Amino acid sequence: MERKRNINSVIHDQLLGRLSEEERKRLQVWIESSLENKKNYECLMHGTDLAERYRLSATVDEEQAWKKFQKKHFQVRGIHRRMLWKYAAILMIPVIIGAAIWVGMWRNADTGPVRVQDDQLAMLRSEKMGKQKAILVLAGGQEIELKSVTNQSLQDSTILPVLSPKVVKETQTENEEVAATDNNKLVTYDDSEFWLTFEDGTKVHLNYNTTLKYPSHFSTVSRTVYLDGEAYFQIAKDDKRPFRVITANGIVKQYGTSFNVNTYVAGVTKVVLVEGAISVLPNQGDEHKIHPGELAVLNGATQDVQISKVDISPYIAWNSGRFVFDNCSLETLMEVISRWYDKKIMFEDEDIKTIRFTGDLDRYGSIIPILKAIQRVTHLKMDVEGEAIIIRRE
């Protein structure tokens, strides 16, 4: 007996206009089974922008789509074209379906269906995957475990805007500039991330293995936080109070913009500006302004600042739910996979670590399809054995 398809697959065919009569009846039964299903389906089908883009994505010319995909994502020689195209298509279709259904479910009660931004969609998928976990350490030493942006119940907390967690505040003098030791501290695990919104409206997305220190209240003259790890900032504009991100290798300063800060490499701070204008200031040296699309690298040892024009996608893709790697070594790639999926990596040969990889992967996908995608491109064998991933030549 043929197994019934998941309702997501049925909706997928409905979006493409190729649903069979039997499945059309099944979909109708599902829609009428609850008011929530009906509202979600109607919202999805009225999201004409996404629905139309999905139809187009399924009717593109295979040859042209393959060339574009290969050029942008998999610049590896010697791969059988149809084999990788088939696999790439398998990976992409569930992502598009998932996005379509999440758009249908995300609604504004007053205005009806709205278009969901990439970062909002990432929040929803992250929570569903159980990736939103952090420890909040108050200045007084109390520790609070945070597991969700929507289901926290913290005493004396402030409910922040939609899609933001609640941030605990403590009594503090309004005009006082707080020392780093008096700050609250938010810490993410190796396999988790977290979003928060400050009282001024600034939104911050913390990547895995990251620590952010911040005051319970910003002062009237400045807004200062301390970062160790990686975070994406969307700063609320305030002409009177500059926002400063202090790292071990220097300071990022601005008044209202979006940028990414990464300190994962010891002794180095990388800052990528998405929009607006910011400046970077090494611990010893002059201030340097950077523009959208530029990368600033602060070297803690030499106090040098190198600024270059870059493709910002690989630097900020994690913020919207993607892993984008551009000519990345397999060792670096697997370090990211190791942390995110809480697995140990074992290379059979040391020289395997130097193999280069260029690709775009789903950050919220299960680990098996991720590994299959990597091994099909690199022609390596990747086996999951308990808590370890063994990488060897085929």
Distance, CA of 305 to CA of 309 (rounded, Å): 14
What confidence score (pLDDT) does residue 290 get? Answer: 94
Task: Quickly count helices (H) and strands (E) in the chain.
Answer: 10, 25
pLDDT at 59 over 60: no
Residue 15 is assigned to a structural domain of this protein: yes
Residue 261 lies in a domain: yes
Q: Which CATH number is 304's domain given?
A: 2.60.120.1440
Residues 131 and 241 in one domain: yes
* Inter-residue contact 279 to 298 (CB < 8 Å): no
Confidence bin at 176 (pLDDT 50/70/90)? very low
Q: Are residues 140 and 281 in the same domain?
A: yes
Radius of gyration over alpha carbons of the chain, in Å? 23
Please tell me the distance from the alpha carbon of residue 359 to that of residue 80, in angstroms, as a whole number: 16
Q: What is the reported pLDDT for 138?
A: 86
Residue-wise pLDDT for 255-301, tens only, equals 789 999 999 999 999 999 999 999 999 999 899 999 999 999 999 99
2 assigned to some structural domain: no
For residue 74, is it within any domain? yes
Q: Tell me, what's the pLDDT at 375?
A: 86
Q: Which of 97-111, 185-199, 234-248 has the lowest mean pLDDT?
A: 97-111
Query: Cα(141)–Cα(135) distance, rounded to whole angstroms?
Result: 12
Question: Would you say 271 and 295 are in contact if contact means Cβ atoms under 8 Å apart?
Answer: yes
In a domain, 231, yes or no: yes
Q: Are 249 and 283 within 8 A, CB to CB?
A: yes
Rounded to the nearest 10 degrees, the angle between the axes of helix 367-378 and helix 81-105 is 150
Whether residue 1 lies inside any domain: the answer is no
Query: Domain with 384 in it: what CATH number?
Result: 3.55.50.30
> In this predicted model, which residue has the larger pLDDT, 39 or 109?
39
Which DSSP symbol is given to 117?
A: P
Examine the domain organization and report whether 171 and 240 are in the same domain: yes
Alpha carbon 239 to its chain centroid, in Å, reads: 29
| Max mean pLDDT range (25-29, 49-53, 118-122, 334-338) | 334-338
Q: Please tell me the number of Cα atoms within 13 Å of 14 on its side-chain side.
A: 22
Q: Which of 346, 377, 364 lies closest to 77, judged by CA?
A: 377
CA 244 to chain centre: 22
Distance CA 61, CA 67 (A): 10
72 and 169 in a single domain? The answer is no
Give domain status of residue 138, yes or no: yes
pTM, 2 dp:
0.66
Distance, CA of 182 to CA of 145 (rounded, Å)? 19
Q: How confident is the model at residue 377 (pLDDT cuts 50, 70, 90)?
A: confident
Using CB atoms within 10 Å of the CB of residue 14, give its burial: 0 to 12 exposed, 13 to 18 middle, 19+ buried: middle
pLDDT of residue 329: 93
- Distance, in Å, from the CA atom of 9 to the CA atom of 15, rounded to the nearest integer, reads 10
Angle at CA of residue 277, ends 183 and 210, nearest 5°: 35
* 234 and 358 share one domain: no
Provide the domain limits for residue 294: 120-315
Label residue 57 by pLDDT band (50, 70, 90): very low
Residue 86 scores a pLDDT above 60: no
The answer to whether residues 49 and 97 belong to one domain is: yes
Query: How many distinct structural domains can be found in the chain?
Result: 3
Q: Are residues 74 and 151 in the same domain?
A: no
Q: Which of 315, 338, 363 is the last residue of a domain?
A: 315
The residue out of 315, 339, 374 marking a domain boundary is 315
- pLDDT given at position 268: 96
Residue 24: per-residue pLDDT: 81
Integer Cα distance of 149 and 192 in angstroms: 13
pLDDT by residue (tens digit) across 194-207? 998 888 889 999 99
Of the candidates 281, 369, 270, the one whose C-alpha atom is nearest the C-alpha of residue 316 is 270
Q: What is the pLDDT of residues 140-160, one digit of tens each?
A: 888 988 876 543 332 333 333
Does 228 share its domain with 188?
A: yes
Same domain, 78 and 190: no
**Which residue among 292, 315, 338 closes a domain?**
315
Domain identity same for 167 and 294:
yes
Q: Are 305 and 282 in contact (CB under 8 A)?
A: yes
Considering only residues 10 and 46, tell me which one the structure prediction assigns the higher pLDDT: 10
In a domain, 47, yes or no: yes
103-110: Cβ within 8 A, 24+ apart? 103/43, 103/44, 103/47, 103/50, 104/40, 104/41, 104/43, 104/44, 104/45, 104/47, 105/40, 105/43, 105/44, 107/39, 107/43
The structure tokens listed for 137 are 């350490």
Asked if 24 and 81 sit in the same domain, the reply is yes
What per-residue confidence (pLDDT) applies to 225? 95
Considering the domain architecture, whether residues 109 and 145 belong to the same structural domain is answered as no
Across the chain, mean pLDDT equals: 75
Task: Please choose, from the candidates 252, 254, 208, the residue with its C-alpha nearest in 3D space to the C-alpha of residue 231.
Answer: 208
Strands of 278-282's sheet, edge to edge?
Answer: 143-146, 134-137, 184-188, 211-214, 223-228, 243-247, 250-254, 278-282, 288-290
What pLDDT is stored for residue 381 in this prediction? 93
> Is the model's pLDDT at 132 over the cut of 80?
yes
- Provide the token pair at 244: 């400063």
